[in-house]
């Protein structure tokens, strides 16, 4: 079966502090989540991934940090797509890029239908005005994205149960952060409740989730200075071994990258 026959596909186009962009698509529609890389790279990704431009319904922006919004003005200019985000985030983008209100569709607390997919935003804990994570349903198939959060509350966890494909932040290794090059202030920011998720916390989140059969996980937003692919792999293998000893469902681990696409498809139920 080719990727395009799957119920939902998730393509992490770029992931990390230099820029984030993920595309979720069904057979009929697609949505871009965050545009923190250039418009040129995003349109090239659409081409490479064989996603026709007319299928793309909009761009969801999780929060206003530049690694999530850098490509927004050019994307609006070139593709004329609506920007879906929280009211306060929209205000920040309007000010920063001098964009008119018409470019935005505000997300509330309730779900929105985009093409044949249903998106449900939920609040996260990050030093931005109104940061969100996203769950996306197509029928009974569920994908979710949670990056840029300093902690995971019970409410956030509740949104993530039974997710078939989860993009989850594993930003830093605690030792590497402590002994790494960041200033004391930046270290505090990253570790704080409104910062980023450590590898260990990401694994704890994953172990606390109700996991469906064949769950796919893409670890994302990995820090270049304070983390390594090897460390994330090691921890996720340990967690998998633990799941086995507990007789619990495991997961298949994948890893987002700054330059390479990570593409995973999930079957309908």
Of positions 7, 34, 64, 67, contacts Zn ion by CB under 5 A: 67
Sole residue written with tokens 């149960």: 161
Residue whose CB is less far from Zn ion, 205 or 266: 205
Comparing every residue's Cβ against Zn ion, the nearest one is 65
Q: Where are the beta strands (DSSP E) in 125-234?
A: 132-138, 141-146, 165-169, 216-220
Strands 165-169 and 216-220: parallel
Of positions 6, 25, 41, 65, contacts Zn ion by CB under 5 A: 65
Task: Provide, rounded to whole angstroms, the least separation between the CB of residue 69 and Zn ion.
Answer: 10
Residue whose CB is less far from Zn ion, 65 or 86: 65
57 forms part of the interface with Zn ion (CB under 5 A) = no
User: How far apart, in Å, are the Cα atoms of 188 and each of 175, 181, 193, 210, 231?
Assistant: 13, 13, 10, 31, 21
Residues 6+ positions from 96 with CB-CB distance below 8 Å: 64, 69
Binding window for Zn ion (CB under 5 A); candidates: 97-105, 146-154, 198-206, 236-244? 146-154
Q: Which helix (H) or strand (E) holds 179?
A: helix 174-179
Residue whose CB is less far from Zn ion, 25 or 65: 65
Binding window for Zn ion (CB under 5 A); candidates: 51-59, 142-150, 180-188, 225-233? 142-150
d(CA 52, CA 154): 38
Task: Provide, rounded to whole angstroms, the least separation between the CB of residue 68 and Zn ion.
Answer: 6
86 forms part of the interface with Zn ion (CB under 5 A) = no
41 forms part of the interface with Zn ion (CB under 5 A) = no
Among 186, 189, 215, 44, which Cα is nearest to 125's? 189
130 forms part of the interface with Zn ion (CB under 5 A) = no
Paired strand residues for 28: none
d(CA 107, CA 94): 15
Q: Report the site for Zn ion in 148-207 (rule: CB under 5 A).
A: 148
The residues of the shown chain that bind Zn ion, judged by CB under 5 A, are 65, 67, 148
């Amino acid at each position: 079966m080719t990727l395009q026959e799957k119920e939902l596909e998730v393509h992490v186009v770029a992931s990390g502090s230099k820029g984030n962009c993920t595309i979720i698509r069904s057979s009929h529609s697609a949505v871009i989540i965050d545009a923190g890389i250039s418009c040129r790279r995003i349109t090239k990704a659409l081409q490479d991934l064989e996603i026709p431009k007319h299928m793309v319904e909009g761009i969801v922006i999780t929060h206003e940090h530049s690694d999530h919004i850098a490509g927004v003005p050019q994307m609006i200019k070139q593709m004329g797509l609506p920007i879906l985000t929280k009211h306060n985030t929209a205000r920040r983008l309007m000010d920063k890029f001098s964009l008119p209100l018409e470019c935005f569709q505000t997300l509330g607390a309730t779900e929105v239908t985009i093409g044949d997919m249903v998106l449900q935003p939920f609040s996260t804990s990050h030093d931005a005005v109104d940061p969100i994570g996203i769950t996306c349903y197509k029928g009974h198939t569920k994908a979710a994205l949670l990056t840029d959060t300093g902690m995971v509350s019970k409410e956030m966890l509740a949104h993530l149960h039974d997710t078939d494909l989860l993009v989850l932040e594993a930003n830093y290794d605690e030792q590497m952060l402590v002994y790494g090059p960041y200033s004391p202030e930046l270290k505090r920011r990253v570790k704080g409740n409104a910062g980023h998720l450590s590898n260990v916390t990401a694994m704890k989140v994953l172990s606390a989730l109700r996991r469906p059969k064949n769950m796919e996980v893409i670890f994302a937003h990995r820090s270049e200075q304070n983390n390594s692919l090897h460390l994330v792999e090691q921890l996720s293998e340990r967690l998998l071994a633990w799941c086995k000893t507990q007789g619990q469902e495991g997961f298949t681990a994948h890893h987002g990258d700054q330059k390479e696409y990570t593409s995973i498809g999930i079957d309908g139920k």
